[in-house]
C-alpha cells in the first residue's frame, strides 16, 4: 500500500477537526435550542451531554482512526469484520449530508451576491421571507412539485462544489493552509457582529430571552434530549469524519486532551454565536415591536429571513454587516463541507487504492449530480426530510454501534490502555461506564422516541409518500450501497485484513 499522508502537526489536525465540527448549525440551531429549552439553565444539560456523550464519542472516533490508520470501514472492520458495514454507513451518511449541505451554501452565495440590496429585500420580515422563499428558493407547493432547475441555485451549487473540490484535491498540505484562514476568521467575524450587537438599543431584550434561566425546565426530559441531540448534531461524530481526520495522525498522538479541545472549542463558539445573534434580534424586536418569540426561530429561517431583516434595520453600515454575516456563514459551511468530502474521498482511496485526486473528483461529480433535485422548487422539502432521517436514525445508529463495539467487543479497558499510553488526561472506569451503558441508552431512547412520533404523524406533516420515498429511501440507499461496498472485496481490504 502507498504510504498514508499525514497532517503536518497536531495543531493542524485539531484545527481541521474544529473546522469540521463548527458549522452552520452553530449559528442557527444552538441559539434557538438554548432559548427554547430553559435559556441559561439549558447550559447544565448541555454541558452534561458534552461530558457524557460528546467528548467520549470524540475520543472513540479519534482512537479508532489513529489505531488503524484507516477510514471508518477499516477502523470498525478491524474490531470485527462485519462491522465494516457500520463504517460504510457512517461514510455514506457523510456523502448524503454533503449533497444537501452544499445546496445551503449555494443559497448563501446567492444571498452574498444580493447583499448590497439588503436594505430593500430585508426591509421587514415579510419582504425578507419573500426574498428567501420566492427569489432564492423558488419554492413549490410540496416535495413532488419540482418545477425546473433554477439557474441561481445551479450556479450556487456549482460554485460550492468547485471550491471544496479544489481544497481537497490539493491534499492535506493544501487543506492545512486553508484551515489557517477559514477556522479563526469566523470567530473574528462573529466577535465583530457581537460587539456591534451589544451597542444596539434593545440588545438586552434579546440576551435576556437567550440566557434567562428557567430552572423548572430541568425536570423536563425533552430538554435533556434536546441537549444530547444538539451535542450529537454539532460535533460531527457518527459521520466517519473524525475517524478519517485522526487516521492522518501518527499512532502516538495524544487523544483525550485533543478531543476535549475540539469539543469545548465547538461549544464555546456556539455560545458566542448565540450572544451575537440574539443581541441583534433583541434590537430588531424592540425596533419593530415584534415579540422575541416570533423572531426567535431555528434553521434557515433564522439565517436567511430574520437575521438579515434585523441587519437591514441597522442605522449605519447595513451592507457591510450583511456581507460580514454571510461571509461568516460561508466560511463555517465550507470547512464542514470539505471535511465531509474528505471523509468519502479518503474511504474510496482506502477501499480501491486510487489517488486522492481521482477519489475526490468522483465523489464531487457524483454528489453534484445527486444534488440537482435540490436546485428545484422542491429542494428545501427534500433537504429537510433527508436531514431528519439521516440524523435521527442513521447517524445515531452508527454512534450506538461505535460505543458498543469499543465498550464490549474491543473492550473499554483495552481501549483505555491504548489511549492512556500517550494521554495527557487519563481515561478509566467512568469512560467505560459511559460508552458501555449511558450513551447507548440515551441515544437508543432518542431513536425509539423519534420512531414513536413518526408513527403517530408524518414528519412535519409532509405527505406520507414523500416521507417514505425521500426519508426511508435515503436510508435504504445507505444500507444497500453500504452492503455492496462491504461485500465486494478489494486488494486494499485484503491488505488491511478486513475480509
CA distances from 128 to 56, 67, 111, 135, 284 (A): 41, 50, 11, 10, 13
pTM (2 decimals)? 0.95
Q: What is the pLDDT of residue 361?
A: 96
Q: What is the pLDDT of residue 157?
A: 98
Rounded to whole angstroms, how far apart are CA atoms 243 and 127?
A: 44
Candidates 401, 411, 405, 425; CA nearest to 259 is 425
Q: What is the pLDDT of residue 479?
A: 97
Rounded to whole angstroms, how far apart are CA atoms 280 and 203?
A: 6
What are phi and psi for residue 481, nearest 5 degrees? -65, -40
Residue 370, C-alpha cell as written in the block? 445527486
Residue reference for cell 469499543: 406
* 470 in Cβ contact with 386 (< 8 Å): yes
CA distances from 11 to 22, 176, 182, 330 (A): 16, 10, 14, 23
- SS3 state at 330: helix
HSE (side-chain half, CA atoms, 13 Å) at 22: 32
Residue reference for cell 425578507: 128
Q: What is the pLDDT of residue 3?
A: 66
Rounded to whole angstroms, how far apart are CA atoms 50 and 434?
A: 12
- Residue 48's CB is within 10 A of a number of other CB atoms, namely 15
pLDDT in tens, the chain (499 residues): 456 788 988 999 999 999 999 998 898 889 888 888 899 999 999 999 999 999 999 999 999 999 999 999 999 999 999 999 999 999 999 999 999 999 999 999 999 999 999 999 999 999 999 999 999 999 999 999 999 999 999 999 999 999 999 999 878 888 988 998 999 999 999 999 999 999 999 999 999 999 999 999 999 888 898 888 888 878 989 999 999 999 999 988 999 999 999 999 999 999 999 999 999 999 999 999 988 888 887 678 889 999 999 999 998 899 999 999 999 999 999 999 999 999 999 999 999 999 989 999 999 999 999 999 999 999 999 999 999 999 989 999 999 999 999 999 999 999 999 999 999 889 999 999 999 999 999 999 989 988 888 888 888 889 999 999 999 999 999 999 999 999 999 999 999 889 8
Candidates 83, 74, 17, 95; CA nearest to 402 is 83
Rounded to whole angstroms, how far apart are CA atoms 437 and 190?
A: 38
Fold of 10-496: Hydantoin permease (1.10.4160)
446: part of which helix (H) or strand (E)?
A: helix 439-456
Indicate the domain borders of the chain. Answer: 10-496
3-state SS track over 120-181? HHCCCHHHHHHHHHHHHCCCCCCCCCCCCCCHHHHHHHHHHHHHHHHHHHCHHHHHHHHHHH
Residue 231 burial (CB < 10 Å; 0-12/13-18/19+)?
A: buried
Amino acid at each position: 500500500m502507498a504510504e498514508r499522508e499525514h497532517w503536518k502537526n497536531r495543531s493542524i489536525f485539531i484545527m481541521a477537526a474544529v473546522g469540521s465540527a463548527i458549522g452552520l448549525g452553530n449559528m442557527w440551531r444552538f441559539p434557538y435550542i438554548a432559548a427554547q429549552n430553559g435559556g441559561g439553565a439549558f447550559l447544565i444539560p448541555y454541558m452534561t451531554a458534552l461530558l457524557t456523550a460528546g467528548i467520549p464519542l470524540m475520543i472513540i472516533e479519534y482512537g479508532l482512526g489513529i489505531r488503524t490508520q484507516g477510514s471508518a470501514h477499516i477502523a470498525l472492520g478491524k474490531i470485527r469484520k462485519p462491522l465494516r458495514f457500520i463504517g460504510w454507513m457512517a461514510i455514506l451518511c457523510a456523502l448524503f449530508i454533503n449533497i444537501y449541505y452544499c445546496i445551503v451554501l449555494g443559497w448563501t452565495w446567492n444571498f452574498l451576491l444580493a447583499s448590497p440590496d439588503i436594505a430593500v429585500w430585508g426591509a421587514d420580515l415579510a419582504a425578507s421571507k419573500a426574498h428567501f422563499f420566492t427569489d432564492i428558493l423558488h419554492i413549490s407547493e410540496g416535495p413532488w412539485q419540482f418545477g425546473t432547475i433554477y439557474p441561481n441555485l445551479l450556479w450556487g451549487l456549482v460554485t460550492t462544489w468547485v471550491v471544496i473540490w479544489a481544497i481537497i484535491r490539493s491534499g492535506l498540505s493544501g487543506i492545512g493552509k486553508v484551515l489557517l484562514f477559514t477556522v479563526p476568521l469566523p470567530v473574528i467575524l462573529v466577535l465583530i457582529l457581537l460587539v456591534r450587537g451589544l451597542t444596539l438599543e434593545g440588545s438586552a431584550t434579546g440576551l435576556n430571552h437567550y440566557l434567562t434561566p428557567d430552572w423548572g425546565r430541568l425536570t423536563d426530559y425533552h430538554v435533556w434530549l434536546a441537549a444530547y441531540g444538539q451535542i450529537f448534531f454539532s460535533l460531527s461524530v457518527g459521520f466517519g469524519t473524525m475517524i478519517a481526520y485522526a487516521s492522518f495522525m501518527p499512532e502516538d498522538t495524544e487523544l483525550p486532551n485533543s478531543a476535549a479541545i475540539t469539543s469545548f472549542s465547538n461549544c464555546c463558539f456556539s455560545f458566542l454565536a448565540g450572544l451575537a445573534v440574539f443581541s441583534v434580534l433583541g434590537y430588531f424586536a424592540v425596533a419593530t415591536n415584534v415579540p422575541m418569540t416570533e423572531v426567535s426561530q431555528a434553521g434557515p429561517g433564522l439565517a436567511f429571513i430574520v437575521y438579515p431583516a434585523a441587519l437591514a434595520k441597522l442605522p449605519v453600515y447595513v451592507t457591510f454587516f450583511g456581507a460580514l454575516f454571510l461571509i461568516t456563514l460561508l466560511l463555517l459551511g465550507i470547512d464542514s463541507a470539505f471535511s465531509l468530502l474528505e471523509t468519502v474521498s479518503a474511504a474510496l482511496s482506502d477501499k480501491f487504492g486510487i489517488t486522492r485526486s481521482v477519489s475526490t473528483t468522483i465523489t464531487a461529480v457524483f454528489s453534484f449530480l445527486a444534488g440537482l433535485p435540490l436546485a428545484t422548487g422542491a429542494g428545501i422539502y427534500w433537504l429537510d426530510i433527508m436531514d431528519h432521517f439521516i440524523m435521527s436514525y442513521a447517524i445515531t445508529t452508527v454512534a450506538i454501534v461505535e460505543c458498543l463495539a469499543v465498550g464490549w467487543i474491543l473492550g473499554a479497558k483495552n481501549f483505555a490502555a491504548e489511549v492512556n499510553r500517550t494521554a495527557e488526561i487519563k481515561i478509566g472506569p467512568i469512560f467505560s461506564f459511559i460508552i458501555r451503558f449511558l450513551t447507548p441508552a440515551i441515544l437508543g431512547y432518542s431513536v425509539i422516541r423519534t420512531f414513536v412520533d413518526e408513527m403517530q404523524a408524518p414528519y412535519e406533516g409532509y405527505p406520507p409518500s414523500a416521507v417514505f420515498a425521500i426519508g426511508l429511501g435515503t436510508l435504504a440507499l445507505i444500507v444497500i450501497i453500504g452492503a455492496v461496498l462491504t461485500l465486494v472485496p478489494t486488494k486494499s481490504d485484503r491488505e488491511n485484513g478486513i475480509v
